[in-house]
Copies of this chain bind each other. A is one copy, B any other.
Amino acid sequence: MTAMNSAGADLKQLYYQMLRIRRVEQAIAERYQQQEMRCPTHLCIGEEAIAVGISAHLTTQDKVFSNHRGHGHYLAKGGDLRRLLAELYGFAEGCCGGRGGSMHLTDLAAGFIASTPIVGGTVPLAGGYAWAEQMKKSGAAQGCASVAGGTTPWMEEVERSRRPEPRTPEATNVVVIFFGDGCFEEGVMHETMNFAALKKLPLLFVCENNQYSVMTPLAERQPERDIYKIAAAHGLQAASGDGNSVEQVYALAQAAVANARTGQGPQFLELHTHRWPEHCGPNEDDELGYRSPGELADWKLRCPLLQTRQALLDKRLSDESELTAMEASLADEIEQAFQWALRGSRPSIDSMGLHLYA
């Protein structure tokens, strides 16, 4: 049974995607304690609705760039779960062959180009990618070669849930850049917004405003004013919304992606949300006291999954038994993915020096 809401969202599908991210992140957190995923890892628990609500509108031809907190973006875009996990373990089968770890993800076949951890680093890259997409479409760069510098053996065996291709031949591929409220302070954000507005790029900026940069609250870093209004002043079509409501994100993204796709220029969404675990690592850290008392608890009440689950039940779009089955199938998928990842091979020491130059 499909479950379209008023905006046409398949709420069950959205819930499934969010739940998948949540369960993956929790499984990572649990196993992180074994000290075998030896890399800095930024979990997105509590923020799943944004990645899912946005990516629901993207095809594999659309491209996503992300940041240090990239697992959710990667999975929502269709990135290979097994290769994500192998990457965390540092194995050769990882999506970066182990060279990147949690903070450097890629799955070109899924249109997930890259996440990297220098804050702001990927923002102009997304702009440049969107520019290239625009030029390819306009015919300014017909002979444009492919992005891949080579293929890897596992690239071919990747299977993933395909999404529909763009409907009209006139439509452009859209590029999405995910970033945080802290990132918005970097000058390169503004440089990219200016260029995107100048060239009317098919680019969607998604600001995940979780009010913190590591442990520093917004009030120590930015004056009181709305982030998205700065984007609007730059000439972008900009809006803000509840990043914990997947339905709201879905609706905002629907308009934004359609606008970007049809040549109306860059779009900007500021979505309010909250990270539950510590900034980096598998634990909670509410005891450190950098969040105001009750803040985390309040946000947990506004859990994007809980809300959607309730809506599914209330609207009778699903029932407990279906949701239990969903959990079971996810548990199974995740367990198998870990098994696959753990069978990975150690990258050879000799390979360490490869691939610096083409």
Chain A residues in the interface with B (C-beta under 8 A):
185-191, 194, 197-198, 221-226, 229-230, 232-235
Contact = CB atoms under 8 A, between A and B. Distances in A.
Nearest to A188: B187
Contacts of A222: 194, 197-198
A224 B235 contact: yes
- Chain A contact surface mostly: helix
Given A185-B194, A198-B223, 4 more contacts: A186-B191, A194-B222, A225-B234, A230-B234
A233 B233 contact: yes
Contacts of A230: 230, 233-234
B198 A191 contact: no
B233 A223 contact: no
Contact of A190 (B189, B198, B221): B189
Contact of A233 (B185, B189, B225): B225
A107 B315 CA distance: 73
A233 B229 CA distance: 6
A197 B225 contact: yes
Contacts of A185: 191, 194
Contacts of A229: 233
A235 B185 CA distance: 13
Contacts of A224: 235
Contacts of A194: 185, 221-223
